[in-house]
Amino acid sequence: MDRSRGLRIEAIHLDQDDPKKCTAKKLERAGLIKCKSRISMAPKRGILLDPLTDRILSPSDLGLIEGGSIVALDCSWKKIEESIRMIKRTTRLESRILPILLAGNPVSWGKRGRLCTAEALSASLYIVGLKEEALGLLAPFPFGDSFMSLNQQPLDAYASCSNEQEVSEVQWEFFDP
């Protein structure tokens, strides 16, 4: 985590998945992020990674993250809708969805958009131009290299865009609609 930029990386951990496979908790143990167990403890400014929103994360969102937070909701994919509803009622974080990427983790390998928390946070940082920080988040995981090799070209393309519209268009150069 780069404290000199005022960057805060957090996860709201709802304890809904297998704790042995929880990448958010592993990131917290490594001192790379903070996990909050209650939605009410979420930061006031920043971005919420929300797979149900229509707003795509782009490099233009860097200003929302610097001096604010980037927050992942660590919950079961089976309970995502209910969990997102809860967090939206209690925070003012700006929701963003990631453009299409492939999971590199062993649970969802190769599946579109089924990223674990570590992959989602890393991809977000990479897209907004914080590549060193992004790679640092993947360092504790054996699948980090796999995630990057699966997604290197799209991540570089997304990071070179200037706004949400460009990212939205560029993703279809790599993935079928």
Asked if the model's pLDDT at residue 3 lies above 50, the reply is no
DSSP state of 24: H
Pairing mode of beta strands 46-49, 94-96: parallel
Residue with tokens 């797979």: 51
At residue 37, φ and ψ (nearest 5 deg) are -95, -10
Cβ within 8 Å of residue 12, ≥6 positions away = 35, 36, 37, 38, 39, 41, 42, 71, 72, 73, 74, 75, 87
The predicted structure's pLDDT at residue 17: 65
> Which of the two residues, 34 and 86, has the higher pLDDT score?
34
**What mean pLDDT comes out for the span 20-44?**
86
**What mean pLDDT comes out for the span 116-130?**
96
Domain that holds residue 145: 3-174
The predicted structure's pLDDT at residue 44: 77
Predicted confidence (pLDDT) per residue in 134-151, tens digit: 999 999 999 999 999 999
Domain count, the chain: 1
The predicted structure's pLDDT at residue 117: 93
**What mean pLDDT comes out for the span 158-173?**
97
- Please, which pLDDT band fits residue 21 given cuts at 50, 70 and 90? confident
115: left (phi > 0), else alpha (psi -120 to 50), else beta? beta
Q: Mean pLDDT lowest for which of 27-31, 81-85, 154-158, 168-172?
A: 81-85
